[in-house]
Structure 1
Amino acid sequence: MAEPFGPPRGPVAGLARGLALAGGAALLATALLTTWSVVQRWLTRQPVPGDFELVSLGSGLAVMGFLAYGTLMRSNILVDSFTGWLPRRVNDLIDAVWALVWVGAAGVLAERLLLGARETLSSGTTTMVLGLPTWWAIGLGALAFAATAVAGLYWTLRLARGRG
């Protein structure tokens, strides 16, 4: 019988929760900024300068912030149309393989984003309207994908050991 699964604990779980909370805060901030910009446009015919840049950065960071926590809590969509009849152990092994694929994809994305952050830092790339540097957002994306890869590895090992 599989052991009961509660909320994961430890440093990876703490990082995943922190990233998810930060993602939620970023999403809330983008919603408030959008509202403020629309009201300001209605009252003064002028939006908040650079609102689309800030909303793009905030929304992207929010989505990436949720990935590790979603992976850790296994809240992704699982489709078992063809494997539902198989024994649980076989399904756990199949899920472990796909979790490992996700680990690989998230790891590659983390590495590429880290490289991109270093390159945008060295080139001084900024947003068009506000002139904000972009390296930090790309670096946070790299951190989010690295945490997602580690969370996926947690499930790969757990499922491979038959404790899914």
Structure 2
Amino acid sequence: MPPLLRRLAALFAIVGCLVACTVALLTVSSVSARALLSRPIPGDVELTQFGIALCIALCLPWAQLHGSNIIVDFFTQKAGETTRRRLDAFGALLLSAMVGVLAWRTAVGALSVRDAFETTMILGLPMWITYAVLAPGLALTSVIALVQVKLHLQGRAPHPELLP
């Protein structure tokens, strides 16, 4: 895997984890304020939804890089190495296409929502930002999966850390 993609995936994952920690602190603060002061943090649900979606999108490239997605190999356990590599390449290609389309449509959706001046209900935050920040993580996941297609077809392990 090219070092640039590894570094970007790591950076995205770190930022995603920081976002998840921030959401956790926000949730604890809001629940505590609700319990102690009868006043939750306004817009906490909006911010939590946005933060967790961002966290997932940012952590997807790291998960794909390390083969942390679900693989059902029940039917291919007895298949030859070449057959498994080709099937893995095909699966990575399908994933790359799907996540690439998601990145593209998310970016297009962000522009559409921006042009419509949509905002969140409680805080009045521009909704287009929510969509726009998801696209880079999805796009990077697509690129990583595409590189993995090439590695599978070349007979190189796309996840060397998973080898026995």
Same fold (TM over 0.5): yes
TM-score scaled by length of structure 1: 0.92
- Residue among 74, 77, 83 paired with 1:90: 83
1:111 aligned partner: 104
Partner secondary structure for residue 19 of structure 1: helix
Measure the CA separation in 2 of the matches of 1:34 and 1:80: 39
- 1:152 aligned onto 2:142: no
For structure 1, the residue ranges without an aligned partner over 5 or more in a row are 1-7
Aligned sequence identity (%): 35
Within a 5 Å distance, the mapping from 1:17-56 to structure 2 comes to 17-56=10-49
- 1:80 aligned onto 2:73: yes
> What CA deviation, in whole Å up to 9, does each residue of 1:72-112 have, x standing for no partner?
11111212111111111210111000110000100110110
Pairwise CA distance, 1:11: 2.0
- Residue among 2, 14, 17 paired with 2:7: 14
1:137 aligned partner: 130
1:127 aligned partner: 120
Pairwise CA distance, 1:9: 4.4
Bigger mean CA offset, 115-124 vs 35-44: 115-124
CA contact 1:67–1:145 (8 Å) conserved in 2: yes
Query: Which residue identity lines up with residue 114 of structure 1 in the other structure?
Result: A
CA contact 1:120–1:135 (8 Å) conserved in 2: yes
For structure 2, the residue ranges without an aligned partner over 5 or more in a row are 158-164
Measure the CA separation in 2 of the matches of 1:136 and 1:20: 19
1:57 aligned partner: 50
Partner secondary structure for residue 83 of structure 1: coil
Query: Which residue identity lines up with residue 8 of structure 2 in the other structure?
Result: L
Query: Which residue identity lines up with residue 92 of structure 2 in the other structure?
Result: A
Query: Which residue identity lines up with residue 135 of structure 2 in the other structure?
Result: A
TM-score scaled by length of structure 2: 0.92
Please give the root-mean-square deviation of Cα atoms over the aligned residues, in Å: 1.1
Measure the CA separation in 1 of the matches of 2:120 and 2:26: 17
Measure the CA separation in 2 of the matches of 1:102 and 1:160: 16
Q: What is the total number of aligned residue pairs between the two structures?
A: 157
Measure the CA separation in 2 of the matches of 1:134 and 1:18: 25
